[in-house]
Amino acid sequence: MESLLVRKGGPLKGTVKISGSKNSTLPIMAASLMCSGEVILTGVPDLEDIKVMSGALELLGARVKREQDVLVIDGSTIDSFELPEEFSRRMRASNLVMGALLSRFRQARVAYPGGCAIGTRPVDLHLKGFEKLGYTIKEEYGFMEGNGQPRGGKEILLDFPSVGATENIMMAATLLPGTTILRNAAREPEIVDLQNFLNRMGARIRGAGLDTIRIEGVQRLGGVEHAVIPDRIEAGTFMVAAAITRGELFIENVVLEHVQPIIAKLQEIGVEVIICSCGLKVVGNQKMKPTDIKTMPYPGFPTDMQPQFMALLSTVEGTSIMVETIFENRFMHVPELRRMGADIKVEGRVAIIKGRTDLEGATVEATDLRAGAALILAGLFAEGETRIQQLEHIDRGYENLHVKLKNVGADIVRGPWS
Ligand code: UD1
């Protein structure tokens, strides 16, 4: 089994180019099933999750080709509407094929995704939305199954602005007659990217990025070329890398608006963020201040940056408070950070962090994707050597993370040692 060895080095310095967004690419890949033409996606990151989604599309009969950061998807040969458990279990986002298949073929059968490390993550909002659109939904033998000939023109109010439910319902409504109105929708940038992609294919969707989305049904969609947006969480992770090493990184290929909640918190603790026309520069500070953070749906502070900020605040003297409101079990990195000497207490969804400057390297496990990133960041600060295991979680969502870190001066190696 491979692991990463991280040693405390000097401040990171240099330029990092951010890859395309994982969370944008996955729903867009699912949406590619909705036309029989060829879809060309550019800026696609090379990640395990993208490979799993490619495998899922191929299993349904689509042809998927990859060359460097370009993915070509041909949905003209789809001949199956069923996604088995092996895909649903490996990646929750594979359930996004359900909305796409329902829209185009009016039938889909997808294995229930089950829980994952950071929470039970139900799909009730997705299924209620499909039912509200007029599909008949059955849940049996571990599968969710949908079919029917909905007449469209429905209003749906989400109980919570779920990212996945918003995307799935948007797709399921795109090829229905009438105008669907989706209220209390998630406002994440990835939803706007999905809308832009679908509209380019011929859909008529307005409002993504706001809390009400209007989907005027169209009869068919055609193949297009689309460049996915940069990954705001990867950008945020490198911004924290600059701060935690008290270094100076220039971040290229980032949409400023998408990282505003991260910039605001960094500035609040005393990190300098300089905005320029082609990116942003993050300058770490020896004298950072503690802060309080509450994760919220976009444009609030992203839950996907909570573990990385927890690592950073563990190195900032004073007491910080982190409240996780999105997932019920997203403090799995806390015991691992504690192994490195971090002083963090958890009470339900609240973590109290007493920052200290004497973290020490230890052997730790990347319990999930962002937890893994947090441990690498802590390792860059801690004295001695940190060994990070279970890299498969990190590979799901970061393209060449250790190589990119090494290029800006981190002392990090990946090897087959366990
Ligand atoms: C997406 C992101 C993930 C991010 C999350 C929140 C992708 C591929 N993943 O996940 O990185 O952490 O948004 O920003 O884009 N919920 C329900 N019922 C549902 C759906 C969701 O109760 O039917 C709950 C979940 O359990 C969770 C919360 O809503 O507690 C947020 O989930 P959601 O916004 O749906 O996240 P994902 O789309 O799974």
pLDDT for the residue 141:
86
Asked if residue 327 lies in contact with residue 334, where contact means CB atoms within 8 angstroms, the answer is: no
Rounded to an integer, what distance in angstroms lies between the CA atom of residue 45 and that of residue 69? 6
**For residue 120, what pLDDT is reported?**
63
- For residue 54, give Cα distances in angstroms to 7, 214, 346: 35, 29, 38
Q: What would the mean pLDDT of 377-391 be, rounded to a whole number?
A: 96
Q: Report pTM.
A: 0.97
Q: Look over the chain and give the mean of its residue pLDDT values, rounded to a whole number.
A: 95
Output 301-304 pairs: Cβ under 8 A, ≥24 positions apart. 301/261, 301/262, 301/265, 302/232, 302/233, 302/236, 302/261, 302/262, 303/327, 303/330, 304/233, 304/236, 304/370
Tens digits of per-residue pLDDT, 113-125? 865 566 566 899 9
Residue 404 to residues 41, 70, 275, 379, 396, Cα–Cα distance (Å): 23, 20, 21, 15, 16
The residue contributing the CA closest to ligand 1 atom 31 is 162
**pLDDT value of residue 278:** 86
Q: What is the mean pLDDT of residues 21-35?
A: 97
Query: Among 87, 110, 326, which residue has the most ligand 1 atoms within 8 Å of its CB, making it the best to mutate?
Result: 326
Q: What's the CA-to-centroid distance between 165 and ligand 1, angstroms?
A: 8
**Ligand 1 atom closest to Cα of 304?**
12
- pLDDT tens sequence across 38-56: 999 999 999 999 999 999 9
Closest atom of ligand 1 relative to the 123 alpha carbon: 23
C-beta neighbour count of 138 within 10 angstroms: 12
| Helices within 83-162 (DSSP H only) | 85-90, 97-105, 124-133
**Exposed, middle or buried by CB within 10 Å (0-12, 13-18, 19+), for 96?**
buried
The residue whose C-alpha atom lies closest to atom 26 belonging to ligand 1 is 121
Res. 302: pLDDT tops 90: yes
State how far the Cα of 54 lies from the Cα of 339, in Å rounded to an integer: 37
Over residues 217-238, mean pLDDT: 97
Q: How far is the CA of 332 from the centre of ligand 1 (A)?
A: 17
pLDDT digits (tens, 9 = 90+) for 159-213: 999 999 999 999 999 999 999 999 999 999 999 999 999 999 999 999 999 999 9
Structure-block tokens of residue 93:
């986002």
Which amino acid makes up residue 82? E
Residue minimizing CA distance to atom 21 of ligand 1: 162
159 Cα: distance to centroid of ligand 1 (angstroms): 13
pLDDT recorded at residue 118: 61
Which DSSP symbol is given to 52?
H
**Average pLDDT value for residue range 394-417:** 94
The pairing of beta strand 385-389 with beta strand 3-7: antiparallel
DSSP code at position 210 = B
pLDDT of residue 254: 97
Atom of ligand 1 nearest to the CA of 49: 8
pLDDT band at 92 (very low <50, low <70, confident <90, very high): confident
Are the CB atoms for 328 and 305 separated by under 8 Å? no
Classify residue 175 by its DSSP letter: T
Interval between CA 166 and ligand 1 midpoint (Å): 10
35 flagged as catalytic: no
Q: What is the mean pLDDT of residues 28-43?
A: 97
Nearest CA, atom 39, ligand 1: 164
The model's pLDDT over 324-358, given as tens digits with 9 standing for 90+, comes to: 999 988 999 999 999 999 999 999 999 999 999 99
pLDDT of residue 277: 84
Residues in the ligand 1 pocket, defined by CB under 6 Å: 23, 26, 92-93, 119, 121-126, 160, 162-165, 186, 190, 303-304, 326-327
Q: What is the mean pLDDT of residues 301-310?
A: 98
The Å distance, Cα 138 to ligand 1 centre, comes to 22
Q: Which atom of ligand 1 is nearest to the CA of 92?
A: 39
Residue 53 CA: distances (Å) to CA of 43, 47, 80, 84: 16, 10, 15, 12
pLDDT value at residue 416: 86
- Provide mean pLDDT across the span 276-304: 96
| Beta carbons of 9 and 380 less than 8 angstroms apart | yes
Of ligand 1's listed atoms, the one at least distance from the Cα of 397 is 11
Give Cα 193 to chain centroid, integer Å: 13
